[in-house]
Structure 1
């Protein structure tokens, strides 16, 4: 089928409606009325002979055919947008993708993977923002983020990246570590904590340890501080598995007796639902999802 120019307005309206899952929001973005967006979508459905949206009382949702077309239309319009930006000559520099994520995840998990991205995309520069607070994805803000949470954030598109587990670790040189035989013994050590939603009480319950008294001797805002404290031999820390690779590989930390606790939250790639990803950001998202699928989390 040859794509005629009169298909483009309908495809643009559909792509926006698919991103927002809402005709009114798409209309606001495109400076149209909701009825005009609905007309474009119905026109597209009639021409293709398929249903793209399921209409229900709460709004609309994509069918399988709609999801397929939304992915293709989003990629095509993002590529077109990137080409137009280049032709306008707004920037002569290498395109830079701005990514916001946790410092601990950036340092321990993402950094070791980046040589593969650099080899696959030598023309794309990356910028990382690791502030503790949640970034605002407004105009001039980051392109995308990697967040640890429940998977649903208002105004953001979200793609699951990987799950998480927690278990205790400590420095091999921590006094008393050689005598540990079972989870209850860990309560005799100085314990290190951070401000995560799950902590030592959750892990001890999962390990079947009840009624013991224990002290969280040191507490840090994030995992970076708690892991470094454990490396210095200050105590045992309940750590997230995805952050432990470098520490376990070089022997700075070792796992202690007891089970792995499945985390309530997981990691997700997020970006604003109200705008399409630029081509460089889109390439980074595709690479990251493919890299986890190929090499594991």
Structure 2
């Protein structure tokens, strides 16, 4: 059965006219005459059986139905353009995979290692997008996800990668200015919004007293906490696996023990077993598991 969809030309003319609030400005953008834009919109209104614009003399304005429809059409056209540009950007010979990942894990652990994957698999392009929460992987547009182990991934194939072990760190300047004998309770502490009880749990595990474990600035991401600690704003509880370079360079110090009681486990989530996955995804999965295990050359 033939789809009841207006012509592309009519939709483009309507979206431009709705966005500009003017047939003339839409005509300039589309390199058409004002009359051509008016005719396209007239055909669209006839096709829909609905008036999209109110015409008052030589001026036009969106009708209520036109306001709603223009928002829907703009969203569809934007998505179509993004998808088209994505396909236009694909290598002629090669493949690509779409990976959803937690943002700080992607920027601090995954991306710095991707060059090694690229060298081994030069014809595979890895696209990475941020996803903070678990989601239904099949039909999402993603080939795999890198996230924490979670019941929401039930039915998916989860492969453990790394443990997120938190450690208190601060700028050496903050520690030096405060004096070597200062207690953790006397230093400003930084918090992550999604883990408000982290300092309380850490204090219980380490056997230290914090007079008010909730006091201190809060940040949304671990990457923000790391930058705040580097700036000397306080002590941050952050995953050790994100700050290896800063600790090695002496830009951050960790004079307190790791908080091993407050750990989470990262995993690679796939819809199918690795062996049944398509070759590019199979190559990526095997590579990242080797990286996590420290087996990669």
TM-score relative to the length of structure 1: 0.61
- Conserved? CA contact 1:180–1:257, under 8 Å: no
The answer to whether residue 189 in structure 2 is matched with residue 174 in structure 1 is: no
The answer to whether residue 204 in structure 2 is matched with residue 205 in structure 1 is: yes
Q: CA deviation at 1:144?
A: 0.5
Note the alpha carbon deviations across 1:48-93, whole angstroms, 9 max, x for none.
xxxxxxxxxxxxxxxxxxxxxxxxxxxxxxxxxxxxxxxxxx9945
Note the alpha carbon deviations across 1:231-259, whole angstroms, 9 max, x for none.
11111001111111232233321113234
Where does 1:85-96 land on structure 2 (aligned, <5 Å)?
A: 92=92, 94-96=94-96
Partner of 2:249: 250
Partner of 1:193: 191
- Conserved? CA contact 1:155–1:273, under 8 Å: no
Where does 1:1-297 land on structure 2 (aligned, <5 Å)?
A: 92=92, 94-139=94-139, 141-150=141-150, 153-174=153-174, 179-181=179-181, 185-194=183-192, 195-196=194-195, 199-210=198-209, 212-273=211-272, 276-295=276-295
Taking a change above 3 Å as real, the CA distance of residues 177 and 135 of structure 1, as seen in their structure-2 partners, is farther
Q: CA deviation at 1:105?
A: 0.8
TM-score relative to the length of structure 2: 0.61
SS at match of 2:115: helix
SS at match of 1:128: strand
Greater alpha carbon shift after TM alignment, 253-262 vs 159-168: 253-262
Gaps of 5+ in 1: 1-89
Aligned residues: 205
SS at match of 1:252: coil
Taking a change above 3 Å as real, the CA distance of residues 160 and 277 of structure 1, as seen in their structure-2 partners, is same
Q: CA deviation at 1:216?
A: 3.0
- Conserved? CA contact 2:196–2:214, under 8 Å: no
Q: CA deviation at 1:220?
A: 1.3
- Conserved? CA contact 1:164–1:241, under 8 Å: yes
C-alpha separation in 1, matches of 2:177 and 2:133: 35
- Conserved? CA contact 2:100–2:130, under 8 Å: yes
C-alpha separation in 2, matches of 1:187 and 1:250: 26
- Conserved? CA contact 1:159–1:268, under 8 Å: yes
C-alpha separation in 1, matches of 2:269 and 2:119: 24
Note the alpha carbon deviations across 1:37-57, whole angstroms, 9 max, x for none.
xxxxxxxxxxxxxxxxxxxxx
Partner of 1:14: none
SS at match of 1:164: strand
Q: Which has the higher contact order (CA 8 A, sep 6+)?
A: 1
Greater alpha carbon shift after TM alignment, 224-233 vs 173-182: 173-182
Q: CA deviation at 1:209?
A: 1.4
Gaps of 5+ in 2: 1-89
SS at match of 1:174: helix
SS at match of 2:126: strand
